[in-house]
Amino acid sequence: MTPRRQYAMSSANAAQFCRLWSDHVDSLDRHLSVNRWALAALTVVLIAYPIARTMIPTVLHGMVPDVVRAVLHLI
């Protein structure tokens, strides 16, 4: 048996892995307290907010042509 074949997952093993992962996520859902979920959500917001504050204006500035920007500035 080659080393690569040893770690190749058959379709039956893939389905079993999906069921195992689903059970793992379900157990997390049952056992994590509301405070832990709130802490996780707060962490995601604290990471995503600065990224969104810098990336969205940068992308819009790159997409909007100078002519549209000048007209909007006059309004």
Q: What is the pLDDT of residues 40-69, one digit of tens each?
A: 899 999 999 999 999 998 888 888 788 887
Is residue 19 domain-shared with residue 42, that is, in the same domain? no
User: Which residues form the domain of 67?
Assistant: 33-75
Percentage of the chain beyond pLDDT 90 is 21
DSSP letters spanning the chain = --HHHHHPPPHHHHHHHHHHHHHHHHHHHHHS-HHHHHHHHHHHHHHHHHHHHHHHHHHHHHHS-HHHHHHHHH-
Is residue 42 domain-shared with residue 74, that is, in the same domain? yes
Domain count of the fold of the chain? 2
> What is the phi/psi pair of residue 32, to 5°?
-80, 135
The whole-number pLDDT of residue 10 equals: 60
Tokens standing for residue 75: 């309004």
